[in-house]
Structure 1
Amino acid sequence: MATMTDVAKAAGVSRATASYALRGDPRISPATANKVRRAAASLNYTTNLSARSLRSGRSGVIGVAIFELDKPYPSEMSAAISREAARHGLETIVQQTSNSKEREISILRKVTSQLCDGTIFSPGNVSPEEITALYGGKPMILLDDISDDPLFDCVFTPCEAGAEAAIRHLYEVGCRNIGVLGVDYRILLDDSQATSVSGRRLAGALKAFDDLNINVDERNFVHTLWDMEHARATMHRLVDSGRMFDGLFCLTDTVALGALRGLADRGVRVPDDMAVIGFDGINEGEYSIPSLTTIETDLDDLAKKAIELLSFRLDVANGDVPEGTDLSTRRLTADFRLIERESTRR
């Protein structure tokens, strides 16, 4: 059976270069990586996971633990991370946290510490201090970590800037009485909630309202659970009560799709009577009637940043970074773009 040394010799590179090339490391030039892959193919080289783990202490497998995989956005995020991991020669084990502390603890104790070299984790119920005690010292990248004093690298979704762009877009299409669906205005009174995803999206909306000199109060903010059925029912109650907006920013696309159905049920025309914009950029929004304008999180960019951070921490753990390298905690934010569709096209 061909070994990594055989591949390196056939490609005319060092063993380390061959290893990095087959892992998809971006530091290896495309020309060199192609040469190594051709050499590996000619030798019928395949990586034996158990053997590699025994030799290096690394399995080449990372964990991805994300909430509510049965919903479109988390599912699409996991797929993007898995694709990016594969480009780096890594395999993924995807787990659903289910918004349960017990489930998160189980994942950290069993999957992360025993099977994976490192993990990309979306915490919902465990604190960074608890993660430190549970994860076994392996590299960990968090998604949307709300800690004031971060212990781990983190990639954020573009909550504030995206929400601000959503409100500005509604303003630009002529909306002046704008509602926000999916958040209770009072969460800003709770420090922990104020820094959550919903809190940061609310903060972005409030900044836009202030910049545009739009007066709002608690009646502009309508709470609902983040699923289609609750959003639909909430819109029924809102319309039946006589409360109407000319523009509606929904904190997620799932909420927006439910709102569109609820408005249609009551004969409210979108976008003529009420323009609607969502947040996330899930695929379903392109096919709704009307199609949904959205703030699309660039999931490929989010995945790229998360995997690059994790790869760096894996190299640190393996002693593969130069002495003097900055090891301080890093916090990055994914890009976004506004996708204008029929739900705001007046």
Structure 2
Amino acid sequence: MVTMSDVARAAGVSRATVSYALRGDPRITESTASRIRQVAADLHYNANLSARSLRSGRTGVIGVAIFELDRPYPSEMGAAMSREIARRGYQPIVQQTSGSKDDEVAILRKVTSQLCDGMIFSPAKVADEELRSLSHGKPMVLLDDLSPDPVFDSVATACEAGAQTAVGHLIEIGCRHIVVVGAPYEMLVEDRLASSVRGRRLLGSLRAFEQADIEVGPQNFFDIPLWTADAARASARRMLEADRYRGVDGVFCLTDTVALGFMRGLADCGVRVPDDLALIGFDGIAESEYSIPSLSTIRTNLDDLSRKAVGLLIDQIEHDGMTGDPQRLTADFDLVVRESTQR
């Protein structure tokens, strides 16, 4: 069996340097770390997690629990997290919670507390204090958590800024009767809902309308309770048949999945994108580039999100917990203009 000492001898460095490099420790330069990783790969070296656990009390495993893995965006996010975790010298375990509290609790009890050095978690039903109790004090980083009094580090998608950019883009190309598809206008009244992903994307949309001095109301928002392509496709006809949505010339869908389904529903009704109305989504999933027409979108930089989330978590692991107040970071994003908004 190839050992870490064998890798160190072959690379001409110390055993400690190999250990640091394979964990992604920033004290090791990228050129040295890359050379060590290549030597380890050439020798077919695999870290012995059981031995590591006995020596350090750690397993070298990081868990990722996100809402679902059978839809494009969370699946792509899980893959990006896996790549970054492996790059930092840890082994990833990715699971889905399905938005179920029972599943969230089971993952925390049976996986996080027993198998993982820490967890990147996308909470839906379990509150912060319950998360802390169930994880038994293990390091934790949350995704898209905007608790008023956070107890964990977190990384968020740029919901407000991204939505403001999306609606702003529609305004810039001349749209004036814009509809935001995916949530009702009324949800912003309740604080808890306003701080959700849907609520924050609605808030960003409102800021774009206000900045352009466009008066808005319920006629600018169309709810789709389920963010699925099938639900969005079926809802397109309902929106077109409703009197208050007559004259729509631009649509912002709160996710790309919704946008692709909605665009298909428009085509079913003989409405052409972008000739009859412009349409933009949010997320930047890979398939948005290959639809006809190709979909303009707000693309979340999943590599940046993963670097930030994994970096926060490993910092906690290496320092046995947070060293200060909880940090809140936001992933980078960019506007990708494609055929669906090119007139």
TM range (shorter): over 0.9
C-alpha distance in structure 2 between counterparts of 1:13 and 1:92, whole Å: 27
Residue in 2 aligned with 1:345?
342
The alignment status of 1:234 with 2:235, answered yes or no, reads yes
CA contact (8 A) 2:316 2:323 kept: no
Amino acid aligned to 1:287: Y
Residue in 1 aligned with 2:29?
29
Question: What is the SS of the residue equivalent to 1:289?
Answer: coil
Amino acid aligned to 2:299: E
Amino acid aligned to 1:329: P
Between 1:301-310 and 1:37-46, the stretch displaced more is 37-46
Once the two structures are superposed, residues 177-223 of structure 1 have per-residue CA deviations (whole angstroms, 9 ceiling, x without a partner) of: 10000011111111111100001000100011001101110121110
- Residue 277 of structure 1 deviates from its aligned partner by 0.3
Residue in 1 aligned with 2:326?
329
Residue in 1 aligned with 2:155?
155
Residue in 1 aligned with 2:294?
291
C-alpha distance in structure 2 between counterparts of 1:116 and 1:161, whole Å: 34
Once the two structures are superposed, residues 71-128 of structure 1 have per-residue CA deviations (whole angstroms, 9 ceiling, x without a partner) of: 1000000000001111111111111100100110000111111111101000000000
Which among 274, 278, 284 is matched to residue 275 of structure 1?
A: 278
- Relative to structure 1, is the Cα distance of residues 192 and 35 closer, same or farther in structure 2, using a 3 angstrom cutoff? same
Residue in 1 aligned with 2:104?
104
C-alpha distance in structure 1 between counterparts of 2:23 and 2:105, whole Å: 30
Once the two structures are superposed, residues 219-244 of structure 1 have per-residue CA deviations (whole angstroms, 9 ceiling, x without a partner) of: 21110021111111111111123423
Residue in 1 aligned with 2:176?
176
Residue in 1 aligned with 2:47?
47
Amino acid aligned to 1:311: I
Question: What is the SS of the residue equivalent to 1:142?
Answer: strand
C-alpha distance in structure 2 between counterparts of 1:105 and 1:46, whole Å: 31
C-alpha distance in structure 2 between counterparts of 1:44 and 1:229, whole Å: 46
Q: How many residues align?
A: 340
- Relative to structure 1, is the Cα distance of residues 54 and 264 closer, same or farther in structure 2, using a 3 angstrom cutoff? same
Structure 2 residue runs without a partner (length 5+): none
C-alpha distance in structure 1 between counterparts of 2:227 and 2:41, whole Å: 48
C-alpha distance in structure 2 between counterparts of 1:279 and 1:38, whole Å: 37
Structure 1 residue runs without a partner (length 5+): 319-324
Question: What is the SS of the residue equivalent to 1:317?
Answer: coil
- Relative to structure 1, is the Cα distance of residues 328 and 6 closer, same or farther in structure 2, using a 3 angstrom cutoff? farther
Residue in 2 aligned with 1:200?
200
Amino acid aligned to 1:33: A
Residue in 1 aligned with 2:186?
186
C-alpha distance in structure 2 between counterparts of 1:138 and 1:145, whole Å: 18
1:77-96 equivalent positions in 2, closer than 5 A? 77-96=77-96
- Residue 9 of structure 1 deviates from its aligned partner by 5.5
Provide TM-score, normalisation by structure 2.
0.94
